[in-house]
């Protein structure tokens, strides 16, 4: 058990380190755990592919270079890349460039941790389990982390530059494979008859460690860049503000709705239900009635530009209900929703309220955002809205 703990510890420690680098807009823990597990699962196909195509008896320098870069490094990094691109990248919680690094490292640490366990168990059969565990703790596992940072850095750039996303993603994969291959190349030189054993040992130390150091420096630089950007996008700008909306603002609210609703619910509701609900809840008549029924509306501005809206009402002196909060797709991930909710909570607390309720569709990933804001699910509701349609919601509560 001690050996297994030693095999697991470095990967977990690096995961905790990178998790705490994401101080401003943390990812849902379940997403991170699942990314880690998927990364670990890629050890199996990578191992099968490597066993099928790698000729371990081919030990010339050229053959070792091919094995290191085009077989081992490419196969393993493609597995991690698949996890990052197919699972983590499409998540709504992937809402800032730093998230690419967070998810990239989680996938890499899943792979490295499981691989580490296998190596240590194998080494224990020859009595070298502790030596292998300690050596990999300071070399192999941190190296995998740096490969994840490099890949994730470019994935973060790709997410927010759609026009060039493919180029950024390819760059991320390339640099991860390059540094992984360089690291492995010097390790594999130990088996080459073309290299003197003493020279191979020196090259192993100088080359593998140098590769690790360079990739570490790149990694910390990229983490710093994206973390600074995370801080900037998390903090609402001084120009961001909210104001109360009045009946003459209804055309503006309807215009924002037309820009926000279809994009928000396209993957959750049918077009027919979206059209029905927009007509039911956002027609001019409906909005006028809501305002008359003491639903207070606010508009959210970035400078002079309206970028979203919200509505709420008092259920009782201690509890408010947030009926709507929507921001333009271009504003999502920039702290706009957080800013609006924080301002509303501040105003509600000043009136003596102790809780805020809201409903969110059970298929809407916005639930994760609300959980980050301190809301918790207290029940489920299925609301008949007519015409055969239902609102299948979670009811969430944030206590002050």
Q: Are residues 88 and 25 in the same domain?
A: yes
pLDDT at residue 34, rounded to an integer: 96
- Select from 200, 234, 268 the last residue of a domain: 234
305 conformational bin, left if phi > 0, alpha if psi -120 to 50, beta if neither: beta
Q: Mind listing the pLDDT tens digit of every residue in the chain (400 residues)? A: 788 888 899 889 888 888 877 765 678 889 999 999 999 999 999 999 988 887 766 778 888 889 889 899 999 999 999 999 999 999 988 877 888 889 999 999 999 999 999 999 998 888 888 888 888 887 788 888 889 988 998 998 898 888 899 999 999 999 999 989 988 887 787 766 665 555 545 555 555 566 556 666 766 676 676 566 555 555 444 567 899 999 999 999 999 999 998 888 888 889 999 999 999 999 999 999 999 988 999 999 887 789 999 999 999 999 999 999 999 987 777 788 898 999 999 999 999 999 999 999 999 989 999 999 999 999 999 999 999 999 999 999 999 9
Q: Are residues 26 and 163 in the same domain?
A: yes
pLDDT at residue 182, rounded to an integer: 85
Q: Are residues 173 and 295 in the same domain?
A: no
Q: Are residues 176 and 70 in the same domain?
A: yes
Number of domain units in the chain: 2
Q: Are residues 273 and 175 in the same domain?
A: no
30-64 as b/e, with b when 16 or more CB fall inside 10 Å? Answer: ebbebbbebbbebbeebeebeeeeeeeeebeeebb
pLDDT at residue 235, rounded to an integer: 47
Q: Are residues 141 and 284 in the same domain?
A: no
Q: Are residues 206 and 269 in the same domain?
A: no
What strands, in cross-sheet order, belong to the sheet with 305-316?
240-244, 296-302, 305-316, 319-327, 355-361, 389-399, 376-386
Q: Are residues 219 and 352 in the same domain?
A: no
- Select from 234, 268, 289 the last residue of a domain: 234
Cα 35 from Cα 113, distance rounded (Å): 13
CATH code, 355: 3.40.630.30
- Select from 202, 219, 234 the last residue of a domain: 234
Three-state secondary structure readout of the chain = CHHHHHHHHHHHHHHHHHHHHCCCCCCCHHHHHHHHHHHHHCHHHHHHHHHHHCCCCCCCHHHHHHHHHHHHHHHHHHHHHHHHHHHHCCCCCCCCCHHHHHHHHHHHHHHHHHHHHHHHHHHHCCCCHHHHHHHHHHCHHHHHHHHHHHHHHHHHHHHCCHHHHHHHHHHHHHHHHHHHHHHHHHHHHHHCCCCCHHHHHHHHHHHHHHHHHHHHHHHHHHHHHHHHHHHHHHCCCCCEEEEECCHHHHHHHHHHHHHHHHHHHCCCCCHHHHHHHHHHHHCHHHHHHHHHCCCEEEEEEECCEEEEEEEEEEEECCEEEEEEEEECHHHCCCCHHHHHHHHHHHHHHHCCCCEEEEEEECCCCHHHHHHHCCCEEEEEEEEEEECCEEEEEEEEEEEC
Residue range of the domain that includes 248:
240-399
Q: Are residues 296 and 373 in the same domain?
A: yes
pLDDT at residue 258, rounded to an integer: 93
Q: Are residues 259 and 224 in the same domain?
A: no
Q: Are residues 336 and 392 in the same domain?
A: yes
Cα 24 from Cα 265, distance rounded (Å): 27
Q: Are residues 393 and 255 in the same domain?
A: yes
């Amino acid at each position: 058990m001690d050996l297994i703990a030693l095999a697991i510890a470095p990967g977990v420690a690096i995961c905790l380190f990178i998790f705490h680098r994401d101080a401003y807009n943390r990812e849902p823990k379940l997403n991170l755990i699942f990314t880690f597990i998927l990364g670990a699962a890629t050890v199996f196909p990578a191992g099968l592919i490597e066993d099928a195509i790698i000729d371990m008896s081919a030990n010339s320098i050229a053959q070792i270079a091919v094995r290191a870069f085009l077989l081992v490094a490419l196969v393993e990094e493609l597995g991690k890349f698949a996890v990052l691109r197919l699972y983590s990248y499409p998540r709504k919680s992937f809402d800032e460039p730093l998230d690419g690094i967070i998810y990239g490292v989680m996938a890499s640490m899943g792979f490295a941790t499981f691989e580490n366990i296998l190596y240590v168990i194998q080494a224990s059969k020859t009595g070298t389990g502790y030596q292998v565990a300690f050596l990999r703790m300071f070399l192999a596992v941190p190296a995998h982390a740096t490969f994840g940072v490099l890949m994730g850095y470019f994935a973060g750039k790709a997410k927010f530059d759609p026009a060039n996303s493919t180029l950024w993603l390819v760059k991320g994969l390339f640099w991860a494979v390059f540094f992984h291959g360089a690291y492995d190349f010097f390790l594999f030189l130990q088996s080459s008859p073309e290299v003197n054993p003493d020279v191979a040992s020196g090259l192993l130390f100088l080359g593998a460690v140098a590769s690790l150091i360079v990739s570490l420096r790149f990694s910390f630089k990229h983490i710093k860049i994206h973390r600074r950007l995370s801080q900037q996008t998390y903090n609402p700008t001084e120009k961001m503000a909210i104001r109360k909306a009045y009946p003459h603002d209804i055309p503006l609210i309807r215009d924002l709705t037309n820009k926000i609703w279809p994009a928000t619910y396209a993957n959750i509701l049918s077009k027919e239900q979206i059209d029905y609900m927009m007509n039911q809840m956002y027609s001019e008549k409906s909005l006028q009635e809501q305002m008359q029924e003491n639903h207070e509306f606010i508009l959210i501005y970035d400078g002079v530009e309206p970028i979203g809206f919200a509505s709420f009402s008092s259920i009782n002196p201690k509890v408010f209900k947030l009926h709507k909060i929507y921001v333009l797709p271009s504003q999502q991930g920039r702290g706009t929703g957080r800013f609006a909710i924080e301002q509303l909570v501040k105003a509600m607390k000043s009136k003596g309220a102790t809780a805020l309720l809201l409903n969110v569709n059970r298929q809407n990933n916005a639930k994760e955002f609300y959980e980050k804001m301190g809301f918790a699910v207290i029940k489920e509701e299925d609301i008949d809205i007519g015409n055969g349609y239902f609102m299948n919601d979670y009811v969430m509560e944030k206590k002050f």
